Amino acid sequence: MKIEDSIGLYGDIKLPDQAVDTPAFVILMDEVQHNLEKTIKAIGGVQRLIPHVKTHRAPWLVNYQIQHGVSAFKAATPREVEMVLDAGAPEVVWAYPTATPANIGRVMDAAKQHPHAKVVGLIDSAAGLAEWKNQLSRSPLLNVRLRVDLDPGMGRTGAPMSDAALELARSINEMERFDGWHLYDGHIKDPDRDIRIAKVAEIRDKVRGLVAAGLRETGCGDLIAGGSYSFELWPADEAARVSPGSWIFSSWEHQADLPHLGWQVGAYVLSSVVSAHDGTVTLDAGSKAISPDMPMPTRFVGGGVKIVAMKEEHSVVESHTLKVGDLVALVPRHACTTAYLYDKALVRTQSGEWQIRPQLGNER
């Protein structure tokens, strides 16, 4: 099977050897294994890795990582928390502070059904604290712990790194449920590693005093920090665990910005050429097949090929060589929001077989 050099070709990317409906989400397990090994090596041991499952949302990938020594995961939605616990993980951090009773209630229910697993919620507000307190007083589950979420300058969630955060830690400690701190510095995306190092160092300087004060008052100074652009820049004595997520499949973005980590493309969208015109071809993967959350020209790897247009079910790209019926492997710029569009994946196992495997798709 032939793919045009200029679209989606990273080395010898593996294409299915059987007829496949397109568009299809394809996962390559040799590459996932490679990425896991590189990620563990970058942080000095699997015990420091608490990977976010939002990227893949696949129960079998949780199992796979447990088999390779991962013992804790991060999740964003209640459905992801349920998936991680059902897959047998010993610990899940629900990295999504909220005060919404039904959402907290659903995670509490999952904790109740898995009494041997530790379930950790995040708090960044008095309202969130009050709701957790309320639900835990009615259902005092011993396996539920709470962390304070800190805003490292991203401006998304997290308490300011000040006395306000310490006050939340004190209150959680009074409930005897304080598990430490959480911080996601996903706003750091500079391709220049030295700039990333300097930005992470600034955050480390700010958080150090808070963690030390918390340790003095509560006896716990644990911090979970980092995403794929920063995890390797957090030293183990400051962030015991780090939480990248998109490393698992990597992406076009990582290939461009983080080459020193040596990750390989572990997932792509297989698409067919359905129509050819004068200098352009039309692919059967549009914005319902590849995430449209990036600027249009950068949504999937082009290697010089220009994306001319993207509609719901079609993309038009410049090409003089592709012809109707050709298959192309499109490497998304953002793997997480692309995987989410598929409730199953075509997986190339490490023994070279191709299997259809489930993932949550857009279940919340």
Ligand X SMILES: Cc1ncc(COP(=O)(O)O)c(C=O)c1O
Residues forming the site for ligand X (CB under 6 A): 52, 74, 95, 184, 186, 227-229, 243-247
Shorter beta-carbon distance to ligand X: residue 148 or 322 = 148
Token pair for residue 220?
């716990």
Residue closest to ligand X when measured from CB atoms: 227
Contact 210, 166 (CB under 8 A): yes
CB of 121 to ligand X, least distance (A): 13
- For residue 84, what are the CA distances in angstroms to 63, 99, 114? 9, 22, 11
Strand pairing category for 267-276 and 241-242: unpaired
Using the minimum distance from each CB to ligand X, give the nearer residue, 104 or 316.
Answer: 104
Give CA–CA dist 131/121, Å, rounded.
11
Contacts for 182 with CB less than 8 Å, ≥ 6 apart: 93, 95, 122, 147, 148, 149, 150, 158, 223, 224, 225
Dihedral over Cα of 287, 291, 293, 298: its sign? negative
* Beta carbon of residue 186, minimum distance to ligand X (angstroms, whole number): 5
Task: In angstroms, give the least distance from the CB of 120 to ligand X.
Answer: 12
For residues 78 and 245, which CB has a smaller minimum distance to ligand X in the complex? 245
CB of 149 to ligand X, least distance (A): 8
Distance in angstroms (rounded) separating the CA atoms of residues 226 and 179: 17
Q: Give the count of beta carbons closer than 10 Å to the beta carbon of residue 85.
A: 23
Question: How far apart, in Å, are the Cα atoms of 245 and each of 75, 323, 329, 332?
Answer: 10, 36, 22, 15
The residue (of 114 and 241) whose beta carbon lies closer to ligand X is 241
From the CB of 105, what's the least distance to ligand X, in Å? 21
Supply the minimum distance, in Å, between the C-beta of residue 142 and ligand X.
25
244 versus 286: smaller Cβ distance to ligand X: 244
Of residues 74 and 196, the one with the C-beta less far from ligand X: 74
